[in-house]
């Protein structure tokens, strides 16, 4: 006799959980590149999993917070893409983050490195992120993120803030496959300063004194997808992991109730250091492998004639100097993501109040244009904070090293400008 549907569904969930837990306690030494198809499915499930605060009856799902911005990776990266950039009644929706840092790169002594808008029961969220949009005479929309309803007093006067939108994750695995030598060659080429373009690679210090080349994040703050994913788990979800083992996430010593709140230890088995983490090494490996497996975005349909015309104008205006259509990969292929992964000085209009030790306030890594068609279709807004509503607005914000290209774009005939916008909107 078959069990009732309710029990069959419960049995299926338990079987899937058992599989996840069994693989979650795999030896930490297991190489990420040795993961299989089932591991990618597990990584996808973990990416979409809604986490809950500890303690919980489902130990495999707890550890969220105590302070957090979201309950899952997917809530800020819907369909693995860019956040919606929604603003409701002047308040930032899910997918915006407000970063905080002092000029030396250290965290604010009270609010840490993120301004978290959610918290576990019994803990006060840090506040809400207000969005202040100002319409400029030329039609552009200036944008500022403002922390409001601060639950723990004011930020330190020296602390700067930076409003950012969660980016599209498609194709990032291909960017990870670009060899350092290729990026160093681009940097050396741009060092000549042709057309005012002189990007530079961000060099990330390692504990052993060596440096890694940053390539991920709006300011190239991460050299690897593992580093970027681990920071997101830690700061945005409050989940400890091998690169950020503190169980309380971004709670500072000034937030004593937050520090003293229950924490999850979902992987605890034999008591090894990795088992005590909320996101152990095997789980992190699988999430990173899933993100790395996401293919580059598909371009929208465009006739060969229109695509060739757009490519010609893209190069002629100088856009391709930074938004390089392709970079070589280690397997002999290409990462067609339209970026050089270098930092560029973009002028004061795109600056914020948070310089970092490795990047000035108005320096930004060239954002990949692959996936632009999806961002436009979903009306997520463009640029790091979603302020630009159209391609034309986004270009108009380009200053600094990109000023000459922006001027040439503005000087195009109406026909050529429409052709270039059509091409960009298809990427």
* Residue 59 shares a structural domain with residue 184: no
281 and 312 both lie in a single domain: no
Higher-confidence position of 59 and 96 = 96
**Above 60 in pLDDT, residue 338?**
yes
Q: Which two tokens stand for residue 156?
A: 């330190």
DSSP 168-215: P-TTHHHHHTS-HHHHHHHHHHHTT-GGG---BPPEEEPTTS-EEE--
- Please tell me the predicted confidence (pLDDT) of residue 266: 52
Q: State whether 232 and 277 are in the same domain.
A: yes
Question: Could you tell me if 71 and 88 lie in one domain?
Answer: no
Q: Which of 235, 263, 293 is the last residue of a domain?
A: 293
Q: Total domain count for the chain?
A: 3
Residues 308 and 414 in one domain: yes
173 within some domain: no
Q: Are 25 and 150 within one domain?
A: no
pLDDT at position 403 over 70: yes
Residue 264's pLDDT is: 78
Report the percentage of the chain scoring pLDDT > 90. 85
What predicted TM-score, i.e. pTM, was given to this entire model? 0.90
Place of tokens 């690897």: 224
User: Is residue 341 one of the residues assigned to a domain?
Assistant: yes
Supply the pLDDT for residue 164: 98
Query: Looking at residue 421, what is its pLDDT?
Result: 98
Count of CB atoms situated within 10 Å of the CB of 21 = 14
Task: Supply the pLDDT for residue 271.
Answer: 61
Mind listing the pLDDT tens digit for each residue in 47-68? Answer: 999 999 988 766 667 889 999 9
Rounded CA separation 76/84 (Å): 8
Domain shared by 56 and 14, yes or no: yes
Task: Report, as an integer, the average pLDDT of 364-385.
Answer: 97
The larger pLDDT score, comparing residue 207 to residue 175, is at 175
Q: How confident is the model at residue 10 (pLDDT cuts 50, 70, 90)?
A: very low
Question: Is residue 126 in some structural domain?
Answer: yes
Of the candidates 118, 140, 165, which is a domain's last residue? 165
267 and 400, same domain (yes or no): no
Both 11 and 88 in one domain: the answer is no
Is 214 contained in some domain?
no
Structural domain contains residue 172: no
Q: In this structure, is residue 216 part of a structural domain?
A: no
Query: Which residues have C-beta within 8 Å of that of residue 315, sequence separation ≥ 6?
Result: none
36 — pLDDT class (breaks 50, 70, 90): confident
For residue 206, give both structure tokens: 């390692």
Average pLDDT of the residues of the chain = 90
Let me know if residue 238 belongs to a domain: yes
Please give the pLDDT value at position 54.
Answer: 86
Instruction: Please check the confidence at residue 418 and state whether its pLDDT lies above 50.
Output: yes
Over residues 219-244, the pLDDT tens digits come to: 999 999 999 999 999 999 999 999 99
- Residue 212 forms part of a structural domain: no
The reported pLDDT for the residue numbered 373 is 97
Mean pLDDT score, 275-299:
94
Residue 351 has pLDDT above 90, yes or no: yes
pLDDT given at position 235: 97
Asked if residue 18 has pLDDT above 50, the reply is: no
Are 185 and 325 within one domain? yes
pLDDT reported for residue 35: 80
Same domain, 155 and 186: no
- Do 275 and 369 fall within a single domain? no
**Does position 399 have pLDDT exceeding 90, yes or no?**
yes
Residue ending a domain, choose from 293, 320, 344? 293
pLDDT at 135: 96
Place of tokens 């500022």: 144
Domain hosting residue 55, numbered range: 5-79+222-293
């Amino acid at each position: 006799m078959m069990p009732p549907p309710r029990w069959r569904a419960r049995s299926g969930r338990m079987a899937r959980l058992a599989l996840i837990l069994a693989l979650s306690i795999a030896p930490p030494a297991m190489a990420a590149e040795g993961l299989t198809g089932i591991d990618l499915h597990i990584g996808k499930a973990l990416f979409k999993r809604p986490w809950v605060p500890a303690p919980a009856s489902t130990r495999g799902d707890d550890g969220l917070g105590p302070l957090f911005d979201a309950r899952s990776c997917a809530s800020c990266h819907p369909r693995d893409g860019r956040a919606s950039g929604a603003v409701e009644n002047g308040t930032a929706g899910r997918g915006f983050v407000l970063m905080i840092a002092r000029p030396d790169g250290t965290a604010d002594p009270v609010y840490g490195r993120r301004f978290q808008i959610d918290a576990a029961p019994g803990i006060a969220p840090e506040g809400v992120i207000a969005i202040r949009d100002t319409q400029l005479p030329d039609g552009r929309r200036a944008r500022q993120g403002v922390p409001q309803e601060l639950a723990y007093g004011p930020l330190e006067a020296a602390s700067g803030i930076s409003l950012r939108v969660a980016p599209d994750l498609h194709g990032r695995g291909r960017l990870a496959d670009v060899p350092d030598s290729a990026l160093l060659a681009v940097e050396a080429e741009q060092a000549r300063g042709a057309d005012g373009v002189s990007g530079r690679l961000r060099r990330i210090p390692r504990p052993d004194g060596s440096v890694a080349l940053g390539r991920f994040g709006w300011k190239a703050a991460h050299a690897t997808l593992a580093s970027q994913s681990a920071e997101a788990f830690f700061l945005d979800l409050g989940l400890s992991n091998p690169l950020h083992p503190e169980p309380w996430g971004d709670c500072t010593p000034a937030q004593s109730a937050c520090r003293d709140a229950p924490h999850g230890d979902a992987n605890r088995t034999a008591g090894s250091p990795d088992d005590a983490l909320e996101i152990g090494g095997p789980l992190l490996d699988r999430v990173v492998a899933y993100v790395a497996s996401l293919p580059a975005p598909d371009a929208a349909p465009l006739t060969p004639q229109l695509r060739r015309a757009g490519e010609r104008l893209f190069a002629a205006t100088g856009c391709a100097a930074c938004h390089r259509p392709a970079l070589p990969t280690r397997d002999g292929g290409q990462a067609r993501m339209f970026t050089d992964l270098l930092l560029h000085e973009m002028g004061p209009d795109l600056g914020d109040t948070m310089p970092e030790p490795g990047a000035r306030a108005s320096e930004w890594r060239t954002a990949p244009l692959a996936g632009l068609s999806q961002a436009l279709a979903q009306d997520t807004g463009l640029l790091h904070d979603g302020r630009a509503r159209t391609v034309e607005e986004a270009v108009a914000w380009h200053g600094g090293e990109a000023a000459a290209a922006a001027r040439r774009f503005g000087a195009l005939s109406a026909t050529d400008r429409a052709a270039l916008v059509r091409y960009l909107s298809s990427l």
